[in-house]
Amino acid sequence: MATVFTHAATALALGTAFRRPGPPLAFWLAGAACAVIPDLDVIGLSFGIPWGHVLGHRGFTHSMGFAALLATLVLALVFRGRAWDGRRAVVWTYLFAATVSHGVLDAMTNGGSGVAFWAPFDDGRYFLPWRPIPVSPIGSRFFTERGAAVLRAELLLVWLPAAVFATVCVWTRRRGGR
């Protein structure tokens, strides 16, 4: 899996395509949270749910269906005020994209069990053809030289392109484009 930092950074970069930088903070926090939440499935390991199970790591919480459900739930809970009238479809699309980005990044890693993009309708686990991101160590093992190497690789392979994407989005909006 990619690191939690990279999942959040990717969501923030995606957000620039849907909203101008700046307040409200709820937009940015919700996007980052949606990008990180799929990894809560590791809790299942404590309850004996195996990795390859639909509820296991990289299972349902990494699927398109879960992304749609989570985007809908977060939209209903966080973006119900009148200030969001007329913007909810755009916000939902952003939250969905932020959640899906988690599975996409995990499918670009060089290890693990693949991603169940279509769960629960398809039990298959998938990787993308290009898998340059090293798998991040989990827990306290992250704070090792291997964890630092993974973060360095992610800075080059994900953060740099995300920063370029965000810069282009901000620049385009400032020039009057959509």
- Residue boundaries of the structural domains of the chain: 4-174
Q: Are residues 118 and 103 in contact, defined by beta-carbon separation less than 8 angstroms?
A: no
Walk along the chain (178 residues) and give the pLDDT tens digit of each residue.
Answer: 789 999 999 999 999 999 876 668 999 999 999 999 999 998 998 899 988 899 999 999 999 999 999 999 999 999 998 989 999 999 999 999 999 999 999 999 998 889 999 999 998 999 999 999 999 887 778 889 999 999 999 999 999 999 999 999 999 988 885 5
Three-class secondary structure of residue 166 per DSSP:
helix
